[in-house]
Amino acid sequence: MFRTALLVSSAFAASAALAQGAPVATPRGSFTATNSGQPIMPPAGPVQVTVQTVTFAAGAVLPAHRHPYTRYGYVLSGRIRVDNLGTGQSEVFATGQPVIEAIGQWHSGTALEPTTLLVIDQVPPGQGNIEMKPR
């Protein structure tokens, strides 16, 4: 009896999940180059993936820095301007936009309003992915 009730209960749960519909994937972009036009080249060999959120107050400035490996970002909320100091390129990224940061090029950022980024790095195990520019 218990087994029958469990099977019936499971069947109702499964049909309720199906009635809600299949998951919906919304593409946010597909990229082969960084925002400055460099090809995306992951490190050779094993990698360590680090995922973090970075939150900026309005007007906050991220000083000049560079990344030895590709850094993938996604603007969860707000707007941020990224200034590439080598190319002179400046670009504003807003909520819902991906940011594929330059590799080895000095750049800085300014939050135009309160901003939160999701940042993903893939680097050789034990290594970091940010170098601050000496003053």
Give me the residue spans of the domains in the chain.
34-132
**Mean pLDDT value across residues 98-103:** 97
Q: Which pTM was predicted? A: 0.82
- Predicted confidence band of residue 16 (pLDDT cuts 50, 70, 90): low
| Cβ density class 101-121: b for 16+ within 10 Å, e for less | bbbebbbbbbbbeebbbebeb
Radius of gyration, alpha carbons of the chain = 21
pLDDT digits (tens, 9 = 90+) for 18-30: 568 999 999 999 9
Task: Please give the CATH topology (third level) of the domain spanning 34-132.
Answer: Jelly Rolls (2.60.120)
- Predicted confidence band of residue 6 (pLDDT cuts 50, 70, 90): very low
Q: What is the per-residue pLDDT for 2?
A: 44
